[in-house]
Amino acid sequence: MPLNKETINVVKSNAFQVLERVDDLLSLSNWEKKYLGKKGEVVNITKQVCELNSVERPIIGTLINDLKQELSIAAQKRKQELATRTPSSHSVPPGTFFDLTAPGKRVPLGHLHPITQMRQYAEDIFIRMGFEVHETREVDDDYHNFESLNMPPQHPARDLWDTFWTENGLVCITHTSNMQIRILTSKSIPIRAIIVGRCFRNEALDARHEHTLHQIEGLYVDKNIKLSDLIGTFKKFLDEFYQRDVKIKTQPSHFPFVEPGIEFLLDCSLCQGTGIINKDRCSTCGGNGWIELAGAGMIHPNVLAEAGLDSQKYSGFAWGFGLDRLVMMKYGIEDIRHFNRGDLRFIQQF
């Protein structure tokens, strides 16, 4: 990617997003190494300045210097906050005898739910890929959940989602796509965003379907974005998520807010893609060896127009995937309903 103002902004917004999560001095020092260190991001982009022409060079150079200064000040500020924050109940007040040989005490607090752990893990991957993280709202209006997505009232595709409505006509969001129009209208191009949150569906439950599920929506809009960019980006994410070269396939699909629309499928990790476990049909993938992970496609010109974007000039892709299914495939969990059951024997394994 050529070095420009946008590249610098991406480094900056990533650095600040990661810094917000830094919660101790060790992570802070890792952060400093990553962004301000000898082989860090700032030095990386500084090295590319010499490739610019003489007009751009001083402008970009100044921006990088400002960035460096801003990051150093932010790191100092964070360091002070971490050093002066009130000691937690586990730390030892100054002057107190600390018995190194005493048996450890179990902190009776439990740990993060596997979905929360994996949500943070996925977010970190996307942040490294240059995406901004947004959260969805859980109750929304018809316009955002349907109409702005090329589904006017009475559109038959609305039946794809068995929707829970509130008494006053609002929607318990059926997908994180409800945030698309907000992001498309409030951010400037290039837009690279993910939207994370809980969705709700009034549907029959089985090993793959839950009434409450978690989705991660992706949006990328710029000039010349193609379907191959979508496939490459999503595959890269999956490779990182599963830490292997994953096997995926795509097949055509229809969603009113994309054209063309596709679906991503992953080979089922429970039956190793065979569709059969102990001579029985694999109930997780329904016996076909593939599990549907995401709907996706090129953002429909009507949606871009609704956001005031010229589809002759810009194009983009979008996807929405179920995080629960991704986590099931990562850990070989055969039934999605385990996540919400509150059974400690399940939860404690993560």
Residue ranges that bind ligand DAH, judged by CB under 6 A: 175, 177, 217, 255, 257-258, 261, 295-297, 318-320
Nearer to ligand DAH by Cβ, of 40 and 297: the residue is 297
Residue with tokens 């018995």: 99
> In 3D, which of 123, 155, 140, 132 has the Cα closest to residue 257?
155
Structure token digits, residue 21: 């999560």
For residue 171, what are the β-bridge partners? Answer: 140, 165
Closer CB to ligand DAH, residue 20 or residue 203? 203
| Cβ 193 to ligand DAH shortest distance, Å | 11
Tell the smallest beta-carbon distance from residue 319 to ligand DAH (Å).
Answer: 5
Q: Considering Cα of 118, then 220, then 40, then 67, what sign does the dihedral take?
A: negative
| Closest CB to ligand DAH among residues 50, 204 | 204
Smallest gap from residue 251 Cβ to ligand DAH (A): 13
Q: To the nearest whole angstrom, how small is the minimum distance from the Cβ of residue 302 to ligand DAH?
A: 13
Q: Which is nearer to ligand DAH, 41 or 217 (CB)?
A: 217
**Residue length, the chain?**
350
Give the E-state strand segments of the chain in sequence order. Answer: 132-135, 139-140, 171-172, 191-200, 212-222, 248-253, 258-267, 276-277, 280-281, 290-299, 315-322
Nearer to ligand DAH by Cβ, of 200 and 255: the residue is 255
For ligand DAH, give the closer residue by CB, 52 or 160: 160
Q: Output the smallest distance, CB 212 to ligand DAH, in A.
A: 13
Which of 195, 157, 199 is closest to 174 using CA atoms?
199
Least separation in angstroms between residue 344's CB and ligand DAH is 30
CA pair distance 114, 120, nearest whole angstrom:
10
